[in-house]
Amino acid sequence: MADNPNAEIVAVGTEILLGEITDSNSVYIARQLRDIGVNLYYMTTVGDNLGRIADAVAAALERADIVITTGGLGPTVDDMTRQAVAEALGKPLEFHQSLYDSIAERFRGFGVSMTENNRQQAYLPQAATLIENPVGTAPSFLVESARGVVISLPGVPREMTYLMQNAVLPYLLQRYRLGIILARILRTAGIGESSLDHLIGKDMLNEGNPSVGLAAHHGAVDVRITAKAENRERATALLDAMQARLQQQIGEHIFGTDDTTLEAVVLEQVRRHTVRIKLIEAGLSGVISRRLEDAGEGLDAAYFPSPAAACKAYGIDPGSKTIKESACAIAKSESQQAANDIAVVVLSEPGLSESADSEQGSAIAIAAADSLRYRVYGFGAGARLAGEWLSRWGLANVWRLLKEAYGG
């Protein structure tokens, strides 16, 4: 039995390469492998081509002790995984009558006739071990060799998940001496990826165990810590130590861990300190208010169909100011009202997707006491990610204002 085995996932399916489906199987398998301490360094996606699948499996066996394929085990012409695995291992396919009879029995149980093309599902690479599939008709299998083990699972997510939990993980835990890999996510707000990278520093980012990595998405950056150890207690201790070091470096930008959301942190502060927020949304109504709907009386929201309509309501000539200047003027006006602690104004051109003029797409302004923060984007409400970027920036800066005012 080997220590610290490496794995590779080979996802089979032209539909993945064409963008018709999302490869959620590989993500699921990766998380399961992580949780039992199996290192995963590569994921490969290959279309429905016998030669290319065989090449992908052979290449994976050069890099990994464990190769897990998903997809291509059905009865149709483009289901080629079993033959490709056999070719990659230099083994012939063998027909299993008992397996064929089992497949036929399942079809009889469904009350339908089994077509002849299902016969190919009864062929397995020589010396393969059958993995019974009680939740589907596609048989799965594993083949052990001097080069490593190949485990082939169906592409149907429900079947793959069941077999992974009930067959593959128990097999791996029995065959290999495994530790455990734990991951923790530190959620940050109000800072970009390059700035965060600089603050953490190369030394910490290049450490091996625990490892530290950054993942930027939709206006936010996560810091991922991953630790491997012989047991959960030791892995947790490694995570705690690294988190303490990161807290010293970037603590002011961290609002939570793992499943913590920015809106939940803001709402907690709003309720605890009885903060009153005035929110004006024009052209992209509900983008922030939906995330803060649990604020109750702490949130007073108003909606306008367009930035021009909002400007007119506040006595501003829309043609006299840029969208940024208008947002700032409205925010300052609302922040000066006794009923408001913080004013947030979102103005976004409803008919605009992308704008050549960065001053005329979307703007968000946040005012409180003597503080004014703003951001301008070169897209309008028609852009697919407009709501995500504007709400993320807005919530991040509301969180910063509350943190500065009340601490924590």
CATH number of domain containing 203: 3.30.70.2860
Is 246 within a domain? yes
* Residues 164 and 211 both lie in one domain: no
Distances (CA, A) of 37 to 8, 40, 184: 14, 9, 15
Is 136 within a domain? yes
* Residues 69 and 135 both lie in one domain: yes
* Residues 334 and 364 both lie in one domain: yes
Is 1 within a domain? no
- Its domain, for residue 198, covers 180-257
- Residue that finishes a domain, picked among 188, 223, 257: 257
* Residues 276 and 238 both lie in one domain: no
Q: How far apart are CA 376 and CA 359, in angstroms?
A: 6
Could you report the per-residue pLDDT of 342-397, keeping only the tens digit for each?
999 999 999 888 866 666 899 999 999 889 999 999 898 988 888 888 999 999 99
Is 297 within a domain? yes
* Residues 169 and 220 both lie in one domain: no
Is 334 within a domain? yes
Is 122 within a domain? yes
Could you report the per-residue pLDDT of 234-245, keeping only the tens digit for each?
999 999 999 999
* Residues 284 and 375 both lie in one domain: yes
- Taking 50 as the pLDDT cut, the residues of the chain under it are 1
Is 38 within a domain? yes
The domain total for the chain is 3
CATH number at residue 59: 3.40.980.10
The structure tokens listed for 286 are 């509900």
- Residue that finishes a domain, picked among 225, 257, 289: 257
Q: Three-state SS string across the chain, please?
A: CCECCEEEEEEECHHHHCCCCCCHHHHHHHHHHHHCCCEEEEEEEECCCHHHHHHHHHHHHHHCCEEEEECCCCCCCCCCHHHHHHHHHCCCEEECHHHHHHHHHHHHHHCCCCCHHHHHHHEEECCCEEECCCCCCCCEEEEEECCEEEEEECCCHHHHHHHHHHHHHHHHHHHCECCEEEEEEEEECCCCHHHHHHHHCHHHHCCCCCEEEEEEECCEEEEEEEEEECCHHHHHHHHHHHHHHHHHHHHHHEEEECCCCHHHHHHHHHHHHCCCEEEEEECCCCCCCCCCHHHHHHEEEEEECCHHHHHHHCCCCHHHCCHHHHHHHHHHHHHCCCCCCEEEEEEECCCCCECCCCCCCEEEEEEECCEEEEEEECECCCCCCHHHHHHHHHHHHHHHHHHHHHCC
- Residue that finishes a domain, picked among 237, 257, 277: 257
Q: pTM for this one? A: 0.70
The reported pLDDT for the residue numbered 87 is 96
Is 194 within a domain? yes
* Residues 12 and 148 both lie in one domain: yes
* Residues 55 and 168 both lie in one domain: yes
CATH number at residue 293: 3.90.950.20
* Residues 232 and 271 both lie in one domain: no
* Residues 188 and 281 both lie in one domain: no
The reported pLDDT for the residue numbered 1 is 46
